[in-house]
Amino acid sequence: MTDITSEIEAPARQAAAETQPESARRGGKGGWLTILLLAVLVIAALLSALWYQRQEFQQGGRELAGRLSTVETQLQQTQRQADEARDIAQGQQAKVQALEEKLTDLSSRYQVLEQAWQNLTDEGGDVVLSNDLDRILTLASQQLRLAGQVGNAIVALETAQARLASADRPGFAMVLQAVNGDLERLRMTPQVDIPALSRRVDALVRQIDTLPLLAPGVNAVIDASPAAQPVAVADDTVALPAAPVADPDASWWVRWRAEMETWPGRLGHAIAGEFSNLVKVQRIDAPDALLLSPDQASQLRSNLRQRLLTAQVALLARQPDVWKSELDIVARALSQYFDMQNVDVARAFAQVEALAQAPIKADIPDIGNSLHALEAARAKAALPAESGAQE
């Protein structure tokens, strides 16, 4: 039994011994293949990484080349701009040199003119000063005599005063003294406020159409006009006597009898008040003032406006006679044809009277002293020149 089993296991052991080297050989070949495959993969990965790195280097090189090209272009533009700036600077430098040359030329000319002016001042300064003063004083005299402008004459004399003070010529000391005296007298001359008077006349012109006339029926249009000024009306109503106060504790028939006793007196006062309103007593110097028609009233107002405008023109022309005569005519018309008991009419009449008395032309002094002093200074300066010419 044991022998049979041994015989049976002997081939099996032999077969197992034969198969073990084959599996070992097969396992060795598989390891080498794996290593080879891994080596190939590593080499492929390295090659891929090298290729990718090369592509990155090429891309960076292209970008660097582009940036270098841009920088080169900018450098070229900067170079061109620098060249242009250098050309401009050279041109400006040339202009500055030309201006410096012109300035030098002008400085030399100015020195020549200054020397000539100094010579002229030293030799003919008195003549130039006298001519300037003659022109200024003549202008001031014309402003006083022709236009009556004291303010303009004062300005002219102040100019002459400053000219004499800056010149400081001993030969014109008397002229300066005369100018100071005339200037002081002009400053003390009363000034007439022409614009204020003209505004008052304008106000009267606008007010003429709103003043009520004495003639009945011609003021209806004025009363209905929205621009009409309100007319003050005196309250002529007669005050009724106060009723006696009855005792509140008295009986009703006592209070009624007291009330009845006051009725006759109150009735009489009421009737007297009504009659006083119906009858109005007023003195009228011109009877035809009550007979004016609406057309005549309109013509009267137009004539008064024209008179006021004529007075305004006389005011601007400094004609006191025309000014006063026109305003007197307006005042007479207001007193004859308009209701003087009206507040507005009375106020307008007072305005016209005040304007008629207002002076529009003050006594303006002349500047003869300054002119005579200038002529004397000229004659005194001409004597040495004539004696030198004769020698």
User: Could you tell me if residue 313 is inside a domain?
Assistant: yes
Residues 6+ apart with CB under 8 A from 340: 334, 346, 349
How many other C-beta atoms lie within 10 A of the C-beta of residue 189? 15
Three-state DSSP string of 115-163: HHHHHHHHHHHHHHHHHHHHHHHHHHHHHHHHHCCHHHHHHHHHHHHHH
Q: With cut-offs at 50, 70 and 90, classify the pLDDT of residue 225.
A: very low
Q: Residue 223 pLDDT > 60, yes or no? A: no
Q: In terms of pLDDT, which residue wins out, 48 or 216?
A: 48
User: Could you tell me if residue 320 is inside a domain?
Assistant: yes
User: Could you tell me if residue 98 is inside a domain?
Assistant: no
What pLDDT score was predicted for residue 288? Answer: 61
What pLDDT score was predicted for residue 251? Answer: 67
Q: Residue 25 pLDDT > 60, yes or no? A: no
What pLDDT score was predicted for residue 230? Answer: 39
Q: Residue 159 pLDDT > 50, yes or no? A: yes
Helices H / strands E in the chain, number of each = 10, 0
Q: Residue 130 pLDDT > 80, yes or no? A: yes
187 shares its domain with 198: no
179 shares its domain with 211: no
What pLDDT score was predicted for residue 180? Answer: 92
187 shares its domain with 203: no
Q: Residue 117 pLDDT > 90, yes or no? A: no
183 shares its domain with 210: no
User: Could you tell me if residue 382 is inside a domain?
Assistant: yes
172 shares its domain with 294: no
Q: What is the CATH number of the domain that holds 371?
A: 1.20.120
User: Could you tell me if residue 309 is inside a domain?
Assistant: yes
User: Could you tell me if residue 226 is inside a domain?
Assistant: yes
210 shares its domain with 151: no
223 shares its domain with 184: no
Q: Residue 31 pLDDT > 90, yes or no? A: no
How many other C-beta atoms lie within 10 A of the C-beta of residue 355? 22
Strand partners, 288: none
136 shares its domain with 231: no
140 shares its domain with 214: no
What pLDDT score was predicted for residue 193? Answer: 77
Domain count along the chain: 2
Q: With cut-offs at 50, 70 and 90, classify the pLDDT of residue 199.
A: very high
Is 243 in a helix, a strand, or coil?
coil
298 shares its domain with 168: no
216 shares its domain with 345: yes
161 shares its domain with 290: no
Report which listed range, 69-73, 86-90, 250-254, 302-306, is most confident: 302-306
User: Could you tell me if residue 52 is inside a domain?
Assistant: no
User: Could you tell me if residue 5 is inside a domain?
Assistant: no
What pLDDT score was predicted for residue 24? Answer: 52
Residues 6+ apart with CB under 8 A from 180: 161
Task: Give residue-wise pLDDT tens across range 252-299.
Answer: 666 666 766 776 666 666 666 555 544 444 555 555 656 677 888 889
Share of the chain above pLDDT 70, in %: 69
Domain that holds residue 186: 124-191+366-390
Strand partners, 213: 338
From 315, 359, 319, select the one nearest 202 (Cα to Cα).
315
Lowest mean pLDDT across 26-30, 40-44, 134-138? 26-30
Q: With cut-offs at 50, 70 and 90, classify the pLDDT of residue 302.
A: very high
Structure tokens at 298: 């309109």
Mean pLDDT confidence for 137-145? 87
* Residue 306 region by backbone torsions, left for phi larger than 0, else alpha for psi between -120 and 50, else beta: alpha
How many other C-beta atoms lie within 10 A of the C-beta of residue 204? 22
